[in-house]
Structure 1
Amino acid sequence: MTGFDPAAHLSEKLLERIRARAAAHDRENTFPAQDLADLKDAGYLAILVPTDLGGAGLGLAEASVLQQRLAGAAPATALAINMHLVWTGVAKVLADRGIADLRFVQEGAAAGEVFAFGISEAGNDLVLFGSDTDAAAQPDGAYAFTGTKIFTSLAPVWTWIGLHGLDTTSPDASKLVYAFVPRSEEDDGRVVTRDDWDTLGMRGTQSRTTELHAAIAPADRVVRRIDPGPSPDPIVFGIFSVFEVLLASVYTGIARRALDLAVQTAAQRRSKKTGKAYSQDPDIRWRIAGMALAYDPLPAELASISRDVDGRADHGTRWFSLLSGVKHRAVTMAKRVVDDAILVAGGSSYFSSSELGRLYRDVLAGQFHPSDPESAHATVASAWLGPIEP
């Protein structure tokens, strides 16, 4: 990251504008459209796109830093943008390995198109290794997708949704098909976006449910056909690595904001008993020190693993345990830090107008994203102990 200046891509002035709008979007349960417009104007949607295609040419390590900063201003905005950045990041991972299948994503992002992430399905704990969505091959090479995707962030604004489905009609064997469906399919009723996002936190993401009714992905937007189950295909590694790193970045950014707010509050609150600022209270100092001890390793860990993805490091079969591990540590750390920040701030944080109260609700979403705690522990156990014997 030599010479990398985060403020060149996310200025303090832009971050403050975004921060100023976050509470209203949370309160009103609305999508932060102006945040998206400002980020588009700043070229943020193309930070992972090569310069020769109109982007900033950044790597995953730099994007991680920027997402931490954005999450500190508005977690829901950062999480929503994450899902677009996942696809541009996957495009970069593939391109770095000589695969140009997602070049249209890079070109589209540079032109201002917005890509949604349509992988999650209710009850599908196979995630990338399987799908309940039907992918029906068409005579012209297109695919028609029928199924339901949940937690579709950017629901009101995406122009393409990247998704997967299972083709069971293939003559050799069933295939998982990765493709992109355009928003225009909504006009024919083939894509239906439910207005069902009314959640405890992360409300601005507007991660609504998306119904697919034979929604067509054109032949030139069908990017991979792979075997179901664990796969060495680069698209699986690309999605998993970029998704986990950027998710961990968002929650690490939330933790940093909570830590900063706790420090500010400790300096401002004064004890009636001693007359001193709470920052001089041994118990408060101990608590904030514990928060910092939990937070401090994560930015460095994210930088290290991001550079390994960018540099095509060979971690072999350990890759998935390393990636699920950093995501798990980030979200559990962030929840602990926010919990402690609430205790430092006291009863004022219990009011709905409190930023810490909003962070307290937002940070809970981290435990639901893949890899969830059970999956992370199973993946790491297999890496160290081998698979469970049949």
Structure 2
Amino acid sequence: MRTHRTILTDELLAAIHDRAPRHDAENTFPEQDLADLAAAGYLTAFVPADLGGAGLTLEEVAREQLRLAAASPATALAVNMHLVVTGLAAHLRSRGDASVEFVLRDAAAGEVFAFGNSEAGNDLVMFDSGTRAEPVREARDGGDEAVVGYRYTGTKIFTSLAPVWTRLATFGRDDSDPDAPVLVHGVVDRDGTRTKDDWNTLGMRATQSCSTVLEGAYAPIDRVYRRLAPGPNADSFTFALFAVFEILLAAVYTGVAGRAIELGVEAARRRRSRRTGLTYDVDPDIRWKLAEAAMEHDGAVLQVLALARDVDEDADHGARWFAQLVGLKVRAVESSRRVVDLVLRVSGGASYTATSEISRIYRDVLAGIFHPSDEESAHSTVASSILGPLPAP
């Protein structure tokens, strides 16, 4: 029988759940949630045991994120970014690539990682950047110069964990050789960065995903883990990033839908019809809607866990791997939106108040449409995987 290790206790999740409404209303970061998660060892979930962590698999962490998102969608989404950075590092290390082992060691030492990748108007996402990555050179013995690091200048948006991160995984474009530009992926600390106070959103408010301005933020060469040509590539880093990011993102939104169903069941059992005198859990229309939501959610959970297991076990999806990953993200988000909408419809007028949990979940789940990969790029990727690429113009 397959067993799954767990870190999150019911008591911890209940405490996080209780704090969620306040942080949404106040538009504040849940610092106590992060402290409790760190104390429980959750920020080192992916760190291998020999480096001091729990050494969980991607499937096991996806299961945990399903539960954390049900307790607090915003807390789950915020910590998701730390888990993506550490998860891709663990994936690469387990397959013989030590270039990002320093991420795992830093996480074991208590550092909190965030992603500084997204840029306003950059629909190429990870395949190009408007941020400058300027090489820093020093003279060596004999007079030759060597690159000893990079300074990043630009603005990154949607930087979850903005108030608390201590390490930022970011990238920019080095055009010092105009004939051979490269995208430079590295890790910086807070020096040379500035956080904007610009997070006042419809939902996922407690993530505090403020914009980060890079003003010469420095990554020494030992924290630069990839230099890649612009455009799609077959580098193992790119696969690890897409795999962990898309699967854990799908887990968060699927977990939100799971909580919505619980709320729908509670509402159906609590509400009573004036016409029949019976509670709505025996009303055939309400039962149909909740059953529809449950069937939708059951399928979403299974696909998240199945694809996570495939990544863990190096399943062979061949050229369709990226299509599987981006398709999962889009399906999970759209499925979760449908589930939450169904539950809102059966929950009565009280659910429309700003303080109701289902109202907050309804706002939170909408954020899923803004994460990469969006519908357009996902459909393009899937179409190319089954029809072949479009002919050159």
Instruction: Determine if the alignment matches structure 1 residue 156 to structure 2 residue 158.
Output: no
Deviations 1:184-222 (A, max 9, x none): x1xxxx211001100000000000001111211112111
Trace 1:126-145 onto structure 2 (pairs within 5 A). 126-140=124-138, 141-145=148-152
Number of the residue aligned with 1:176: 183
User: Aligned residue for 2:14?
Assistant: 16
2:48 equivalent to 1:38: no
Counterpart-to-counterpart distance in 1, 2:336 and 2:178: 48
Residue 142 of structure 1, CA deviation: 0.6
Where structure 1 has 5 or more consecutive residues not aligned to the other structure, the ranges are none
Matches within 5 A, 1:198-277: 198-277=200-279
**Cα RMSD, aligned residues only:** 1.1
Give yes or no for contact 2:159–2:211 (8 Å, CA) kept in 1: yes
Output the TM-score relative to the length of structure 2: 0.96
SS of aligned partner of 2:347: helix
Aligned to 2:353: 351
Deviation of residue 173 (structure 1)? Answer: 0.9
Shift of 1:293: 1.3
Give the letter aligned to residue 263 of structure 1.
V
- Supply the AA of the counterpart residue of 1:276: L
How far, CA to CA, are the matches of 1:314 and 1:129 in structure 2?
24
The superposition leaves residues 252-299 of structure 1 with CA deviations (integer Å, 9 ceiling, x where unpaired) of 000000011101111111111111110100100110111011111111
Residue 154 of structure 2 aligns to a residue in which SS? strand
Structure 2's unaligned 5+ residue stretches are 139-147
Distance in 2 (CA, whole Å) between partners of 1:28 and 1:360 is: 18
Deviations 1:150-206 (A, max 9, x none): 0000000000100111111147611111000112x1xxxx21100110000000000
Give the secondary structure class of the aligned counterpart of 1:335: helix
The one-letter amino acid paired with 2:154 is G
Match of 2:340, as an amino acid? Answer: V
The residue matched to 1:320 in structure 2 has which SS?
helix
Within the candidate set 94, 97, 119, 1:96 is matched to 94
CA distance in 1, matches of 2:301, 2:64: 11
Q: Which amino acid is 2:164 matched to?
A: V
**Which residue of structure 2 aligns with residue 146 of structure 1?**
153
SS in 1 for 2:158: strand
**What are the superposed Cα offsets for residues 335-361 of structure 1, whole Å, 9 maximum, x if unpaired?**
011111111111111111100000000
Partner SS for 1:212: strand
How far apart, in 2, do the equivalents of 1:4 and 1:215 lie? 40
Give the TM-score normalised by the residue count of structure 1.
0.96
Q: Could you tell me which residue of structure 2 aligns to residue 301 of structure 1?
A: 303
Which residue is 1:27 aligned to?
25
What is the match of residue 65 of structure 1?
63
**Residue 293 (structure 2) aligned to one of 291, 294, 309:** 291
Q: Distance in 2 between matches of 1:5 and 1:58?
A: 7
Conserved? CA contact 2:86–2:104, under 8 Å? yes
C-alpha displacement of 1:227:
1.2
For these two proteins, the number of residue pairs brought into alignment is 383
> For residues 90 and 178 of structure 1, what CA distance do their matches in structure 2 show?
13
1:297-376 residue pairs with structure 2 within 5 A? 297-376=299-378
Tell me the residue number matched to 2:141. none
Cα distance in structure 1, aligned partners of 2:166 and 2:236: 24
**Percent identity for Structure 1 against Structure 2:** 57
Stretches of 4+ moved more than 2 A in 1? none
**Is the CA contact (8 Å cut-off) linking 2:23 and 2:206 kept in structure 1?**
yes
One-letter amino acid matched to 2:100? L
In structure 2, C-alpha distance between the alignment counterparts of 1:66 and 1:305, rounded to whole Å:
15
Alpha-carbon distance between aligned partners in 2 of 1:223 and 1:338, rounded to the nearest angstrom:
40
C-alpha distance in 1 between matches for 2:129 and 2:189:
20
Q: CA deviation at 1:375?
A: 1.1
In 2, the alpha carbon distance for the partners of 1:111 and 1:349 equals 43
